[in-house]
Protein backbone atom coordinates (compact mmCIF):
# COMPACT_ATOMS: atom_id res chain seq x y z
CA UNK A 1 0.00 0.00 0.00
CA UNK A 2 1.51 3.34 -0.99
CA UNK A 3 2.10 6.06 1.55
CA UNK A 4 -0.14 9.09 1.22
CA UNK A 5 0.76 12.36 2.86
CA UNK A 6 -1.15 15.63 2.78
CA UNK A 7 1.19 18.59 2.89
CA UNK A 8 -0.64 21.79 3.86
CA UNK A 9 2.27 24.12 3.07
CA UNK A 10 5.89 24.23 1.97
CA UNK A 11 7.10 23.92 5.58
CA UNK A 12 5.76 20.37 5.74
CA UNK A 13 7.87 19.15 2.82
CA UNK A 14 10.97 18.50 4.94
CA UNK A 15 9.12 15.92 7.03
CA UNK A 16 7.78 14.27 3.86
CA UNK A 17 11.26 14.18 2.29
CA UNK A 18 12.71 12.50 5.38
CA UNK A 19 9.86 9.97 5.36
CA UNK A 20 10.48 9.19 1.68
CA UNK A 21 14.25 8.75 2.09
CA UNK A 22 13.79 6.69 5.27
CA UNK A 23 11.23 4.39 3.68
CA UNK A 24 13.57 3.63 0.76
CA UNK A 25 17.11 3.79 2.18
CA UNK A 26 18.66 1.68 -0.58
CA UNK A 27 16.68 3.10 -3.50
CA UNK A 28 18.21 5.92 -5.49
CA UNK A 29 15.92 6.47 -8.50
CA UNK A 30 12.84 8.60 -7.84
CA UNK A 31 10.34 9.52 -10.57
CA UNK A 32 8.11 12.53 -9.83
CA UNK A 33 4.70 12.74 -11.46
CA UNK A 34 2.37 15.73 -11.32
CA UNK A 35 0.88 18.48 -13.39
CA UNK A 36 2.78 21.64 -14.23
CA UNK A 37 3.05 23.71 -11.04
CA UNK A 38 2.28 20.81 -8.69
CA UNK A 39 5.57 21.28 -6.83
CA UNK A 40 7.88 18.60 -8.21
CA UNK A 41 10.93 20.89 -8.32
CA UNK A 42 10.14 22.35 -4.90
CA UNK A 43 9.90 18.87 -3.41
CA UNK A 44 13.18 17.82 -5.05
CA UNK A 45 14.83 20.96 -3.61
CA UNK A 46 13.64 19.88 -0.16
CA UNK A 47 14.90 16.33 -0.63
CA UNK A 48 18.29 17.67 -1.75
CA UNK A 49 18.41 19.86 1.35
CA UNK A 50 17.71 16.74 3.45
CA UNK A 51 20.65 15.09 1.64
CA UNK A 52 22.79 18.11 2.57
CA UNK A 53 23.26 19.52 -0.91
CA UNK A 54 24.83 22.99 -0.67
CA UNK A 55 24.42 23.74 -4.39
CA UNK A 56 21.53 25.80 -5.70
CA UNK A 57 18.85 23.35 -6.78
CA UNK A 58 16.66 24.42 -9.68
CA UNK A 59 14.82 22.79 -12.53
CA UNK A 60 17.02 21.66 -15.42
CA UNK A 61 14.20 22.40 -17.86
CA UNK A 62 16.48 23.51 -20.68
CA UNK A 63 19.64 21.58 -19.73
CA UNK A 64 17.70 18.31 -19.14
CA UNK A 65 20.07 17.42 -16.28
CA UNK A 66 21.64 19.22 -13.33
CA UNK A 67 24.33 17.69 -11.17
CA UNK A 68 24.56 18.58 -7.46
CA UNK A 69 27.04 17.48 -4.85
CA UNK A 70 25.99 16.27 -1.41
CA UNK A 71 28.11 17.03 1.65
CA UNK A 72 29.55 13.49 1.48
CA UNK A 73 30.83 14.18 -2.05
CA UNK A 74 28.21 12.01 -3.76
CA UNK A 75 26.73 13.31 -7.00
CA UNK A 76 22.98 13.77 -7.24
CA UNK A 77 21.36 13.93 -10.67
CA UNK A 78 18.21 15.94 -11.34
CA UNK A 79 16.44 15.40 -14.66
CA UNK A 80 13.61 17.35 -16.25
CA UNK A 81 12.21 15.76 -19.40
CA UNK A 82 9.38 18.26 -19.93
CA UNK A 83 10.93 19.75 -23.10
CA UNK A 84 12.18 16.43 -24.45
CA UNK A 85 11.65 16.34 -28.20
CA UNK A 86 12.62 12.73 -28.83
CA UNK A 87 13.74 9.67 -26.93
CA UNK A 88 17.06 9.91 -28.78
CA UNK A 89 17.93 12.93 -26.59
CA UNK A 90 17.84 10.65 -23.56
CA UNK A 91 20.20 8.20 -25.23
CA UNK A 92 22.45 11.10 -26.28
CA UNK A 93 22.94 12.23 -22.68
CA UNK A 94 23.84 8.68 -21.67
CA UNK A 95 20.95 8.18 -19.26
CA UNK A 96 22.11 4.65 -18.36
CA UNK A 97 25.36 6.03 -16.93
CA UNK A 98 23.29 8.11 -14.51
CA UNK A 99 20.41 5.74 -13.76
CA UNK A 100 22.77 2.84 -12.98
CA UNK A 101 25.50 4.87 -11.25
CA UNK A 102 24.30 4.10 -7.73
CA UNK A 103 23.77 7.83 -7.17
CA UNK A 104 20.48 9.55 -6.47
CA UNK A 105 18.48 10.40 -9.59
CA UNK A 106 15.43 12.63 -9.31
CA UNK A 107 13.34 12.64 -12.48
CA UNK A 108 10.66 15.16 -13.40
CA UNK A 109 8.24 14.27 -16.21
CA UNK A 110 9.21 10.56 -16.20
CA UNK A 111 6.15 9.72 -18.28
CA UNK A 112 8.16 10.94 -21.27
CA UNK A 113 10.67 8.09 -20.75
CA UNK A 114 8.49 5.56 -18.92
CA UNK A 115 9.88 2.52 -20.74
CA UNK A 116 13.47 3.52 -19.83
CA UNK A 117 12.88 3.80 -16.08
CA UNK A 118 14.55 1.08 -14.03
CA UNK A 119 12.12 -1.38 -12.46
CA UNK A 120 13.27 -0.34 -9.00
CA UNK A 121 12.43 3.36 -9.50
CA UNK A 122 10.20 4.80 -6.79
CA UNK A 123 7.22 6.62 -8.25
CA UNK A 124 6.17 9.77 -6.41
CA UNK A 125 2.84 11.37 -7.30
CA UNK A 126 2.07 14.98 -6.38
CA UNK A 127 -1.47 16.23 -6.72
CA UNK A 128 -2.80 19.71 -5.94
CA UNK A 129 -5.95 19.83 -3.84
CA UNK A 130 -7.84 22.57 -5.67
CA UNK A 131 -9.96 23.37 -2.62
CA UNK A 132 -7.12 24.55 -0.37
CA UNK A 133 -3.89 24.37 -2.41
CA UNK A 134 -2.41 21.61 -0.27
CA UNK A 135 -0.42 18.83 -1.90
CA UNK A 136 -1.30 15.16 -1.78
CA UNK A 137 1.93 13.19 -2.10
CA UNK A 138 1.86 9.44 -2.70
CA UNK A 139 4.80 7.07 -3.00
The answer to whether position 108 is within a domain reads yes
The answer to whether position 136 is within a domain reads no
User: Per residue of the chain (139 residues), what is the pLDDT tens digit?
Assistant: 678 999 998 889 999 999 999 999 999 999 999 999 999 999 999 999 999 998 989 888 888 999 999 989 999 999 999 999 999 999 999 999 999 999 999 999 999 999 999 999 999 999 999 999 999 999 9
pLDDT of residue 137: 96
The answer to whether position 111 is within a domain reads yes
pLDDT of residue 60: 87
The answer to whether position 137 is within a domain reads no
Q: What's the total number of domains in the chain?
A: 1
Mind giving me the DSSP string for the chain?
---EEEE-SGGGHHHHHHHHHHH-TT--EEEEE--TTSSHHHHHHHHHHHTTB-SPP---TTTSEEEEEBTTS-EEEEEE-TT---HHHHHHTTHHHHHTSSSEEEEESGGGGGGGS-TTPEEEEEEE-TTT--EEEE-
The answer to whether position 139 is within a domain reads no
pLDDT of residue 1: 61
CATH of the domain at 97: 3.40.50.300
Range of the domain at 78: 4-131
pLDDT of residue 63: 87
Amino acid sequence: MPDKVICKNINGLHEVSVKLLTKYPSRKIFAFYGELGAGKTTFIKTICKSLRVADIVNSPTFAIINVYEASDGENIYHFDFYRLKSIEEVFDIGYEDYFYSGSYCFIEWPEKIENLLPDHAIKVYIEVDKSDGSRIIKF
